[in-house]
Chain A
């Protein structure tokens, strides 16, 4: 158990809908990362927050947005969902947003768009 908690574990929704994925980082970790992993694909970096502020942005679609709250939990909002958005979405956290910090991953949220 990495200490990173993600909910829901599984989610099935229809095209055009909107969903919110939730992440609680490890106790004491200030930085949260979101990654997407499609079937047989590598981990794609979406976005990083550090202590409530956006730190880095990957190839995140405009239909997707995220935020980190004062209690450090984070949410990833996915809207106008398409079939191609079906994937595993991982949240990860680290103590700092800087160099050399180990990033720990949660178990992921399986999103299926039908």
Chain B
């Protein structure tokens, strides 16, 4: 079965302390890997799409990378406003019971000043 696993479940950082979030996946066919940010009680906000191994994308303090088995979301010098849950989702072909976008459970990031 297609599966997406995110680690760690929760991460507490001091402001300015860089770190990485991991998203590993086991899928039958990768069509794209997505990163979203979700604030409490809000809808997931789209951050990045990655399509092939070796691809990288950056946005402000965030950088997403992709290999054949996993993706990393690197956060450089985070600020308190970066606190949120970061969701990874993998798009697979077809429209099975999980839909074609399979989400991990997310990493809850807290950045303390």
Smallest Cβ distance from A22 to chain B, in angstroms? 15
Chain B binding surface, main DSSP class: loop
Contact with A along B26-39 (1 / 0, CB 8 A): 00000110101000
Q: What residue of chain A has the Cβ atom nearest to residue B95's Cβ? A: A56
Please tell me the number of chain B residues within 8 Å of chain A, measured between CB atoms.
Answer: 28
A42-B104, A100-B32 known; A33+B43 contact, CB < 8 A: no
Please tell me the number of chain A residues within 8 Å of chain B, measured between CB atoms.
Answer: 26
Q: Is B87 an interface residue (CB 8 A)?
A: yes
Q: Which residues of B lie under 8 Å from residue A2 when comparing CB positions?
A: 43, 45-46
Pairwise interchain contact A100-B31, C-beta atoms closer than 8 A: yes
Q: Which of A43, A45, A56 contacts B44 (CB 8 A)?
A: A43
Pairwise interchain contact A48-B95, C-beta atoms closer than 8 A: yes
Smallest Cβ distance from A95 to chain B, in angstroms? 13
Please indicate which of the listed interface residues B41, B98, B100 has the most CB atoms of chain A within 10 Å of its own CB.
Answer: B100
Please indicate which of the listed interface residues A55, A99, A108 has the most CB atoms of chain B within 10 Å of its own CB.
Answer: A99
User: Interface of A with B (CB < 8 Å)?
Assistant: 2, 4, 33, 42-43, 45, 48, 55-59, 88, 90, 97, 99-108, 110
